[in-house]
Amino acid sequence: MKTPRTRRALAATSVVLLGVLATGCNGDSGDSSSAPATSEAATSEPVPSQGSEANPFAAELSGPDTGKPDQVLTETLTNKGRLPDAYQVVIEPADAAVVDEANFHLAPGESAKVYIKVVKTPFDVHLKSAGGGAPDQVAMTVQ
């Protein structure tokens, strides 16, 4: 019999593998993808925005962006993409705040509360996608 921890680990692994497969299957089989990028290519082929047809991953972190030491901020993390994704909330600098639960697995449209205890300001809240979305984005700066 599988334990809840084993089931969660299996689900997380499945989400990560799905993301890897989805990013590897972009439909571009031309030789130009293996050519080194030039500044000309970079301007003519923009990176697909999150949630677009070319990139089905998107996330949003919303809530207060100001805080004082010892205050707990309640943020809402929402998967705005078309595929399930795994997220990690990371604070920079690391000693500026403490995240109660930093790892999340969300289905499309699903939300979760993120509790951040402020130690000192300012700090950035990074949102890292483990499933193929933006590998690291600054979701907000807390002042």
How far is 114 from 18, CA to CA, in rounded Å?
24
Tell me the CA distances in angstroms from 83 to 47, 89, 118, one per residue in order. Answer: 18, 19, 32
Q: How many helices (H) and strands (E) does the chain have?
A: 2, 8
pTM of the model: 0.63
Q: Are 140 and 121 in contact (CB under 8 A)?
A: no
Q: What is the pLDDT of residues 110-122, one digit of tens each?
A: 999 999 999 999 9
- Smallest CA-to-CA distance from 61 within 100, 116, 23 is with 116
Percentage, residues of the chain above pLDDT 70: 58
Mean pLDDT over each residue of the chain, to the nearest integer: 75
- 82-118 as b/e, with b when 16 or more CB fall inside 10 Å? bbbbbbebebeeeebbebeeeebbbeeeeeeebebeb
Count Cβ atoms below 10 Å from residue 70 Cβ, excluding itself.
8
